[in-house]
Copies of this chain bind each other. A is one copy, B any other.
Amino acid sequence: MNSFGKVFRVSVFGESHGSAIGVLIDGCPPGIKLSPDDFMQDLSRRRSGAKGTTPRSETDTPDILSGVFNGITTGAPLMLMTRNSDRRPGDYDEFRNIPRPGHADYTAAVKYSGFADMRGSGHFSGRITWGLVAAGVIAKIILQPSLVKAKLISAGGIDDIEKAVSNALSEGDSIGGIIECRISDPHKALGEPFFYPVESAISHAVFAIPAVKGIEFGSGFRAASMKGSEHNDSFVDETGKTLTNNAGGINGGITNGNEIVFRVAVKPTSSIAVKQQTFDFGRKEMTWLNVKGRHDTCIALRAPVIVEAAAAIALADLLMIDRAIHGSRG
């Protein structure tokens, strides 16, 4: 279940403090120019380094281990990998008995009967999104000339994101944020009713990103307060352009050619410097927990490029499925 996509298929692997993380990509067309450099812009947006992001240092450069010959994709599976260099297993040892609130420590222990690698959240770490971003780079190429762009539009409930981060940092606390993603010049006719509409595909991929709590398309939750006469988007010309875009570019689960728009809610980072009271499963009593180690104040700062990747992967898969059934369009 560690794969996404029916034709363009992305499988991630690795643990935060294991020897390597990476991604296997199947269904990538041959003939795409591809070098490690092509990944660096998106990968460094994920790593960030800005105030409020974790200071962990990793080079993150991808090794392309298969599927590329002479700098061009061959049509065979692509294996992209990077070694973990900055491994600090010691930071996390004490959390076996005292699972950190908001983290997957407790559920991982239950699900995997105590065998999960708990170091730095193991396979549940945000670090695993490296593979998602790497696959996203390829998906974006496949989707051209469509352009997938996401940005953080608020943090901690306010628009001044820098201020919100500074405040939280000074308090040793963390904050969440809202990311908006827009896909301009999208392919028309993507999406498969009944069970693979655009919203299903994108939300499936986006909720794989740790810390995502919600997603809405077009008017989203605001639609619940609207009237039909306000919400309906009138067509204005024969290209299918609409006057408003409450639909977020999607009707009946299928892209209508207008900009695809969705927003994603990201929760505040679970690791905080502030002390928290929680249960000690070893001693069977409440205790105070002090989470040490390096953390993001606002994980949402690094998430836009991951959201882009998730959306691009979902749309690339839908594009291929549409092509499978209907042939290459116009």
Contact = CB atoms under 8 A, between A and B. Distances in A.
Contacts of A124: 193, 252-253
B9 A7 contact: no
Interface stretch (A44-52, A53-61, A143-151, A233-241): A233-241
A104 B197 CA distance: 12
- Report whether over half of chain A's contact residues are helix, strand or loop; otherwise say mixed: mixed
B223 A265 contact: yes
Given A2-B193, A276-B234, A66 B227 contact: no
B108 A65 contact: no
Q: How many A residues are at the interface, by size bracket?
A: 35 or more
A216 B24 contact: no
A181 interface: no
A270 B232 contact: yes
Contacts of A216: 213-216, 221, 265
Given A124-B193, A266-B224, A75 B115 contact: yes
Given A66-B21, A75-B116, A204-B204, A252 B193 contact: no
30 contacts: A1-B195, A10-B195, A11-B77, A15-B66, A19-B65, A22-B79, A29-B325, A31-B115, A65-B81, A73-B115, A76-B112, A76-B117, A102-B247, A104-B251, A107-B189, A107-B252, A107-B256, A110-B189, A156-B225, A175-B226, A203-B203, A213-B216, A214-B223, A221-B265, A223-B268, A224-B265, A224-B267, A228-B268, A231-B268, A328-B328
